[in-house]
Amino acid sequence: MSRKIRSLSFVASPAPEAEQARGELVERYGDAPPDEADVIVALGGDGFMLQTLHTTMNSGKMVYGMNRGSIGFLMNRFSLADLPARIERAVANICRPLEMRTVDADGHVSDALAINEVYLFRQSYQAAKLKVAIDGRTRLQELICDGLLLATPAGSTAYNLSAHGPILPLEAPLLALTPVSPFRPRRWRGALLPNHVTVDIEILEPEKRPVNAVADYTEIKSVRSVRIAQSESSTAIILSDPDHSWSERILSEQFQY
Protein backbone atom coordinates (compact mmCIF):
# COMPACT_ATOMS: atom_id res chain seq x y z
CA MET A 1 0.00 0.00 0.00
CA SER A 2 1.50 3.34 -1.08
CA ARG A 3 0.83 6.54 0.86
CA LYS A 4 2.11 10.09 0.49
CA ILE A 5 4.10 11.22 3.52
CA ARG A 6 4.31 14.95 4.11
CA SER A 7 5.11 15.16 7.82
CA LEU A 8 6.42 12.90 10.56
CA SER A 9 6.34 13.10 14.35
CA PHE A 10 9.13 11.36 16.28
CA VAL A 11 8.68 9.94 19.78
CA ALA A 12 11.31 8.02 21.74
CA SER A 13 11.68 5.97 24.88
CA PRO A 14 13.93 7.41 27.63
CA ALA A 15 16.76 5.06 26.60
CA PRO A 16 19.86 7.04 25.49
CA GLU A 17 20.06 5.11 22.21
CA ALA A 18 16.45 5.99 21.39
CA GLU A 19 16.85 9.65 22.36
CA GLN A 20 19.98 9.95 20.22
CA ALA A 21 18.19 8.39 17.25
CA ARG A 22 15.29 10.81 17.66
CA GLY A 23 17.67 13.80 17.59
CA GLU A 24 19.32 12.59 14.39
CA LEU A 25 16.00 11.91 12.68
CA VAL A 26 14.47 15.25 13.71
CA GLU A 27 17.52 17.06 12.33
CA ARG A 28 17.15 15.25 9.00
CA TYR A 29 13.36 15.15 8.55
CA GLY A 30 11.90 17.76 10.89
CA ASP A 31 9.32 17.05 13.58
CA ALA A 32 5.61 17.82 13.35
CA PRO A 33 3.25 17.88 16.34
CA PRO A 34 1.73 14.39 16.79
CA ASP A 35 -1.82 15.52 16.04
CA GLU A 36 -0.69 17.13 12.74
CA ALA A 37 1.67 14.42 11.49
CA ASP A 38 0.80 11.84 8.83
CA VAL A 39 2.68 9.14 10.75
CA ILE A 40 4.08 8.76 14.27
CA VAL A 41 7.57 7.24 14.30
CA ALA A 42 8.25 5.39 17.58
CA LEU A 43 11.86 4.73 18.61
CA GLY A 44 12.55 2.19 21.35
CA GLY A 45 11.56 -1.38 22.11
CA ASP A 46 8.34 -3.35 22.15
CA GLY A 47 7.21 -1.88 25.47
CA PHE A 48 7.47 1.65 24.11
CA MET A 49 5.64 0.61 20.95
CA LEU A 50 2.76 -0.71 23.06
CA GLN A 51 2.61 2.61 24.94
CA THR A 52 2.56 4.52 21.64
CA LEU A 53 -0.19 2.32 20.20
CA HIS A 54 -2.28 2.88 23.33
CA THR A 55 -1.72 6.65 23.04
CA THR A 56 -2.82 6.69 19.39
CA MET A 57 -5.73 4.27 19.85
CA ASN A 58 -8.80 5.31 17.82
CA SER A 59 -7.04 8.41 16.48
CA GLY A 60 -6.54 7.00 12.98
CA LYS A 61 -2.82 7.78 13.32
CA MET A 62 -0.43 5.21 11.88
CA VAL A 63 2.62 4.22 13.93
CA TYR A 64 5.90 3.17 12.34
CA GLY A 65 8.37 1.76 14.84
CA MET A 66 12.15 1.43 14.56
CA ASN A 67 14.07 -0.70 17.01
CA ARG A 68 16.21 1.16 19.50
CA GLY A 69 15.48 -1.29 22.34
CA SER A 70 16.23 -4.95 23.02
CA ILE A 71 13.88 -7.46 21.34
CA GLY A 72 11.99 -5.21 18.97
CA PHE A 73 9.57 -7.81 17.62
CA LEU A 74 6.98 -5.11 16.92
CA MET A 75 9.57 -2.78 15.40
CA ASN A 76 11.18 -2.33 11.99
CA ARG A 77 14.93 -2.20 11.47
CA PHE A 78 16.55 1.11 12.34
CA SER A 79 17.99 3.27 9.57
CA LEU A 80 18.35 7.02 9.10
CA ALA A 81 18.18 6.78 5.31
CA ASP A 82 15.16 7.25 3.07
CA LEU A 83 12.59 7.09 5.87
CA PRO A 84 9.61 8.73 4.09
CA ALA A 85 9.96 6.29 1.17
CA ARG A 86 10.12 3.32 3.56
CA ILE A 87 6.95 4.47 5.30
CA GLU A 88 5.16 5.05 2.00
CA ARG A 89 5.81 1.41 1.07
CA ALA A 90 4.96 0.00 4.52
CA VAL A 91 2.06 -2.38 5.15
CA ALA A 92 -0.68 -1.26 7.55
CA ASN A 93 -1.76 -3.74 10.23
CA ILE A 94 -4.93 -2.99 12.19
CA CYS A 95 -4.84 -4.15 15.80
CA ARG A 96 -8.08 -4.74 17.66
CA PRO A 97 -7.30 -4.89 21.39
CA LEU A 98 -8.82 -6.95 24.15
CA GLU A 99 -11.11 -5.19 26.61
CA MET A 100 -10.55 -6.18 30.25
CA ARG A 101 -13.09 -5.41 32.96
CA THR A 102 -12.19 -6.28 36.55
CA VAL A 103 -13.98 -6.17 39.88
CA ASP A 104 -11.61 -5.90 42.86
CA ALA A 105 -11.94 -6.81 46.54
CA ASP A 106 -13.67 -3.48 47.28
CA GLY A 107 -16.15 -3.90 44.47
CA HIS A 108 -14.43 -1.28 42.32
CA VAL A 109 -14.82 -1.80 38.56
CA SER A 110 -11.86 -1.03 36.27
CA ASP A 111 -11.54 -1.14 32.48
CA ALA A 112 -8.36 -1.42 30.41
CA LEU A 113 -7.26 -2.37 26.90
CA ALA A 114 -4.62 -4.90 25.89
CA ILE A 115 -2.97 -5.13 22.47
CA ASN A 116 -0.78 -8.08 23.52
CA GLU A 117 -2.51 -9.95 26.32
CA VAL A 118 -4.50 -9.94 29.53
CA TYR A 119 -2.94 -12.06 32.23
CA LEU A 120 -3.70 -13.02 35.81
CA PHE A 121 -1.04 -14.06 38.30
CA ARG A 122 -0.89 -15.10 41.92
CA GLN A 123 -0.01 -12.43 44.47
CA SER A 124 1.42 -14.69 47.17
CA TYR A 125 3.11 -18.03 47.77
CA GLN A 126 -0.27 -19.75 47.36
CA ALA A 127 -1.23 -21.01 43.90
CA ALA A 128 -4.20 -19.28 42.32
CA LYS A 129 -7.54 -21.05 41.99
CA LEU A 130 -9.59 -19.89 39.03
CA LYS A 131 -12.97 -20.75 37.53
CA VAL A 132 -13.11 -20.18 33.76
CA ALA A 133 -16.24 -19.69 31.65
CA ILE A 134 -16.47 -19.12 27.88
CA ASP A 135 -19.59 -17.30 26.64
CA GLY A 136 -21.31 -18.03 29.94
CA ARG A 137 -20.55 -21.76 30.02
CA THR A 138 -18.13 -23.04 32.65
CA ARG A 139 -15.23 -24.85 31.00
CA LEU A 140 -12.90 -25.18 34.00
CA GLN A 141 -14.55 -25.53 37.38
CA GLU A 142 -11.21 -25.16 39.16
CA LEU A 143 -7.85 -24.35 37.59
CA ILE A 144 -4.91 -24.38 40.03
CA CYS A 145 -1.96 -22.49 38.57
CA ASP A 146 0.47 -19.61 38.94
CA GLY A 147 -1.47 -17.62 36.36
CA LEU A 148 -3.57 -17.54 33.19
CA LEU A 149 -3.34 -15.35 30.10
CA LEU A 150 -5.40 -14.58 27.02
CA ALA A 151 -3.26 -13.44 24.08
CA THR A 152 -4.05 -11.85 20.73
CA PRO A 153 -2.17 -12.96 17.60
CA ALA A 154 0.01 -9.85 17.95
CA GLY A 155 0.82 -10.81 21.53
CA SER A 156 1.17 -14.55 20.98
CA THR A 157 4.95 -14.29 20.60
CA ALA A 158 5.39 -12.37 23.86
CA TYR A 159 4.49 -13.68 27.35
CA ASN A 160 2.24 -16.31 25.77
CA LEU A 161 5.19 -17.92 23.97
CA SER A 162 7.30 -17.86 27.14
CA ALA A 163 4.47 -19.74 28.87
CA HIS A 164 4.59 -22.38 26.09
CA GLY A 165 1.45 -21.09 24.40
CA PRO A 166 0.91 -21.35 20.62
CA ILE A 167 2.08 -18.74 18.11
CA LEU A 168 -0.88 -17.38 16.12
CA PRO A 169 -0.65 -15.95 12.59
CA LEU A 170 -1.58 -12.29 12.63
CA GLU A 171 -4.61 -12.82 10.38
CA ALA A 172 -5.96 -15.77 12.43
CA PRO A 173 -9.38 -15.02 14.05
CA LEU A 174 -8.19 -16.67 17.26
CA LEU A 175 -7.10 -15.99 20.83
CA ALA A 176 -4.73 -18.15 22.87
CA LEU A 177 -5.81 -19.08 26.41
CA THR A 178 -2.63 -20.27 28.12
CA PRO A 179 -2.00 -21.32 31.75
CA VAL A 180 1.19 -20.43 33.62
CA SER A 181 2.61 -23.39 35.58
CA PRO A 182 -0.70 -25.31 35.77
CA PHE A 183 -0.98 -27.91 38.54
CA ARG A 184 -4.58 -29.11 38.16
CA PRO A 185 -6.05 -30.21 35.80
CA ARG A 186 -2.63 -31.74 35.23
CA ARG A 187 -3.10 -32.44 31.53
CA TRP A 188 -4.66 -29.07 30.57
CA ARG A 189 -2.22 -26.93 28.60
CA GLY A 190 -4.53 -24.25 27.22
CA ALA A 191 -7.00 -23.69 24.39
CA LEU A 192 -7.46 -21.82 21.13
CA LEU A 193 -10.62 -19.69 21.17
CA PRO A 194 -12.55 -17.82 18.46
CA ASN A 195 -11.82 -14.11 18.78
CA HIS A 196 -15.53 -13.27 19.24
CA VAL A 197 -15.98 -15.07 22.58
CA THR A 198 -16.21 -13.58 26.06
CA VAL A 199 -14.00 -15.09 28.74
CA ASP A 200 -15.04 -14.78 32.40
CA ILE A 201 -12.60 -15.69 35.15
CA GLU A 202 -13.67 -15.93 38.78
CA ILE A 203 -11.03 -16.01 41.50
CA LEU A 204 -11.74 -18.77 44.01
CA GLU A 205 -10.65 -18.30 47.65
CA PRO A 206 -9.54 -14.71 46.91
CA GLU A 207 -8.60 -13.84 50.50
CA LYS A 208 -6.33 -16.86 50.83
CA ARG A 209 -5.12 -16.83 47.23
CA PRO A 210 -5.10 -13.19 46.00
CA VAL A 211 -4.67 -12.56 42.27
CA ASN A 212 -3.69 -9.50 40.20
CA ALA A 213 -4.78 -8.83 36.61
CA VAL A 214 -2.79 -6.99 33.93
CA ALA A 215 -3.81 -5.63 30.51
CA ASP A 216 -0.50 -4.92 28.73
CA TYR A 217 0.99 -2.55 31.35
CA THR A 218 -2.14 -1.66 33.39
CA GLU A 219 -2.25 -3.70 36.61
CA ILE A 220 -5.25 -4.14 38.91
CA LYS A 221 -4.56 -5.69 42.30
CA SER A 222 -6.68 -8.17 44.27
CA VAL A 223 -9.29 -8.86 41.62
CA ARG A 224 -12.34 -11.01 42.31
CA SER A 225 -13.50 -11.41 38.70
CA VAL A 226 -12.21 -10.59 35.23
CA ARG A 227 -14.14 -10.37 31.95
CA ILE A 228 -12.23 -10.29 28.65
CA ALA A 229 -13.51 -9.78 25.10
CA GLN A 230 -12.08 -8.41 21.89
CA SER A 231 -13.05 -4.79 21.34
CA GLU A 232 -15.59 -4.10 18.61
CA SER A 233 -14.80 -0.40 18.38
CA SER A 234 -11.16 0.29 19.33
CA THR A 235 -8.30 0.02 16.83
CA ALA A 236 -4.63 0.94 16.51
CA ILE A 237 -2.62 0.95 13.27
CA ILE A 238 0.98 -0.25 13.06
CA LEU A 239 3.14 -0.11 9.92
CA SER A 240 5.66 -2.77 8.94
CA ASP A 241 8.22 -2.95 6.13
CA PRO A 242 7.09 -5.26 3.29
CA ASP A 243 10.23 -7.40 3.65
CA HIS A 244 9.82 -7.58 7.43
CA SER A 245 6.06 -8.01 7.83
CA TRP A 246 4.40 -9.26 11.01
CA SER A 247 3.32 -12.42 9.22
CA GLU A 248 6.92 -13.12 8.22
CA ARG A 249 8.17 -12.38 11.76
CA ILE A 250 5.62 -14.77 13.27
CA LEU A 251 6.49 -17.48 10.74
CA SER A 252 10.22 -17.05 11.36
CA GLU A 253 9.71 -17.22 15.12
CA GLN A 254 8.28 -20.74 14.78
CA PHE A 255 11.41 -22.05 13.08
CA GLN A 256 13.99 -20.68 15.52
CA TYR A 257 16.02 -23.15 17.54
| CATH code, domain carrying 120 | 2.60.200.30
Residues annotated as binding site for NAD(+)?
46-47, 116-117, 146, 154, 157-162
CATH at residue 58: 3.40.50.10330
3 within some domain: no
How many structural domains does the chain have? 2
Task: Based on the fold, state whether residues 113 and 187 are members of the same structural domain.
Answer: yes
Give the count of alpha carbons within 13 A of 43, CB side only: 23
* 46 catalytically annotated: yes
The answer, as to whether pTM is greater than 0.85, is yes
Identify the pLDDT of residue 245: 66
CA dihedral sign of residues 124, 116, 249, 243: negative
Q: Are residues 121 and 167 in the same domain?
A: yes
Residues 197 and 139 reside in one and the same domain: yes
Residue 241 lies in a domain: yes
Range of the domain at 131: 98-230
pLDDT of residue 2: 59
pLDDT given at position 48: 94
Query: 205 and 104 share a domain?
Result: yes
Looking at residue 164, what is its pLDDT? 92
Whether 1 is covered by a domain: the verdict is: no
219 part of a folded domain: yes
Residues of the chain with pLDDT under 50: none
* C-alpha span between 159 and 245 (Å, rounded): 20
Strands 117-122 vs 91-95: parallel, antiparallel or unpaired? unpaired
Note whether residue 2 is domain-resident: no
User: Are residues 82 and 136 located together in one domain of the fold?
Assistant: no
Q: Are residues 193 and 146 in the same domain?
A: yes
Out of 46, 106, 111, 243, pick the active-site residue. 46
